[in-house]
Amino acid sequence: MKAKICLLPGDGIGPEIVAQAQLVLGAVAARFGHELEFESHLMGGCAIDDCGDPLPEATLNACRESDAVLLGAVGGPKWDDPRANTRPEAGLLRIRKELGLFANLRPVKPHASLVGASPLRPEIVSGVDILFVRELTGGIYFGDKGRRKSAGVEAAFDEMAYSVPEIERVVRVAGKAAMERDKRLTSIDKANVLEVSRLWREVAANVVSNEFPELQYDVVLVDAMAMHLISRPADFDVVVTGNMFGDILTDEASMLPGSLGLLPSASLGDPGPGLYEPIHGSAPDIAGKGIANPLATILAAAMLLRHELQLEEEAAAIESAVSNIIDSGLRTADIAGKGAALSTAEMGAKVVEAVSG
C-alpha cells in the first residue's frame, strides 16, 4: 500500500521524537512492503516565528492532502505571552476544527513492568486498561467567548454548548470501541448542575439503548470520576466525555502509568486524515538534549497504521516491539529512576531494530 503522511514536528522536543517515529514507520513499511511518503510542515510556535500564524494555510492544505497527520508537540515559554495576538495552542484547536476531528481516543494502559513507576500503589494500577473518548471540536473550547463590562465591572465569559448530533456522534464512536473491547461504557457529565450535561446524559442514554443495547452502561459525575480514577481505575473500560472534562480527566489518568512519555492519542472524525500525537507537551526544559522519550510518538504512529491505514499487523508489530523493549529493562531518562538511560535516538533505534524483524 501507498500512503502520504504529513509530519508536524512542532516545537520543543517535537522534532526529536517525530524523527524517531518516522524512522520506525519507515522500518515497518520496508518490512511489510508498503510505500510511505513523508512531508514535513511548520505548525505551532515555529510557524508563528516563520509567518505569524501557528497553522499556516500551506500546512493545513498539506494535511488535507495527506492520508494521516503525525504531530509532535506545540508550544513553549517563548510564545506564552498572554498579550500576544496568537498562540501555538490556537493552531492545535484550529487544526482539530478544520479537519473535523471530533473524537479523541486516549488509551491508558500501564505497562506491567512499569507499575512501580506510577505514583499510585501497584495493586491499584495493575489491570488498568481504559480508553478515553473525548469530544474534541465542541463544548466550552469552541463556544462564544469574550469580555464584558457591566456597571463598570469587567467580566469574562466562555459559553459551553453541545448539540444533539455532536453528542450522538462521539457517543457512537465510544460505543463502537466498547463493543470491540470489554463491552462497558461510562459517560461523564455534571448533570446535577449543568443543562448541557442534562442533554448529554439524555442523548448518550438514547444512543446506547438504540444502538448498543449489549453494553453495560453507566453514568458518573465528573467530580466523582476524578476520585474513582485514583481509587479504582481498573474498574473502567471505555469512558466518553465532553471536551473540557476529557482534557482534565485524561491528564489525571496519564499519571496512572507513571510517565506521560508513553501515551499516544488519535483524533478522528470526518472522512479525511486523522491526527496522531503523543499526549505530552513540548517539554521545553529538555528540548535539544536528546533525552526525550520517543515511545509515545512511536505508539501514536502505531495508532495511525491501525486507525487510518487499517494495517493492524503492522501496528501490533510496533506495539509489541515497544512492550518487549520495556520488559527487557531499557529506559529513557523519564522512567529510568536511578538506572541507566538511553537517549531519544538510542531508544528509537531499538524499536527500529525490533520491528525490522
Cite the active site residues: 141, 190, 223, 247, 251
CB of 114 to ligand IPM, least distance (A): 22
**Interaction partner, residue 92 (Mg ion, ligand IPM, none; CB < 5-8 Å by kind):** ligand IPM
- What phi and psi, each to the nearest 5 degrees, are found at residue 37? -110, 130
**Interaction partner, residue 182 (ligand IPM, Mg ion, none; CB < 5-8 Å by kind):** none
**Interaction partner, residue 89 (Mg ion, ligand IPM, none; CB < 5-8 Å by kind):** ligand IPM
Spatial CA neighbour of 336 closest among 277, 285, 292: 292
Grid cell, residue 51, equals 509567518
CB of 73 to ligand IPM, least distance (A): 9
Within a 10 A sphere around the Cβ of 292, how many other Cβ atoms?
30
**By beta-carbon distance, which residue lies closest to Mg ion?**
247
Q: Which residues contact ligand IPM by CB under 6 A?
A: 89, 92-93, 247
At residue 247, the 3 state secondary structure works out as helix
For ligand IPM, give the closer residue by CB, 166 or 314: 166
| Residues contacting 316, CB < 8 A, separation 6+ | 302
For ligand IPM, give the closer residue by CB, 129 or 247: 247
Spatial CA neighbour of 61 closest among 14, 95, 18: 95
Grid cell, residue 54, equals 501557528
Rounded-to-10 torsion of CA 167, 221, 116, 342? 30
For Mg ion, give the closer residue by CB, 95 or 309: 95
CB of 154 to Mg ion, least distance (A): 28
Residue 118 identity (one-letter amino acid): S
Helix-then-strand count for the chain, H and E: 13, 12
For ligand IPM, give the closer residue by CB, 54 or 348: 54
Q: Which residue has cell 448529554?
A: 200
For ligand IPM, give the closer residue by CB, 92 or 207: 92
Task: Give dist(CA 20, CA 298) in Å, integer.
Answer: 7
CB of 73 to Mg ion, least distance (A): 11
Q: Which residues contact Mg ion by CB under 5 A?
A: 247
Rounded-to-10 torsion of CA 236, 242, 247, 252? -30
CB of 247 to ligand IPM, least distance (A): 4
Q: Which residue has cell 478544520?
A: 98
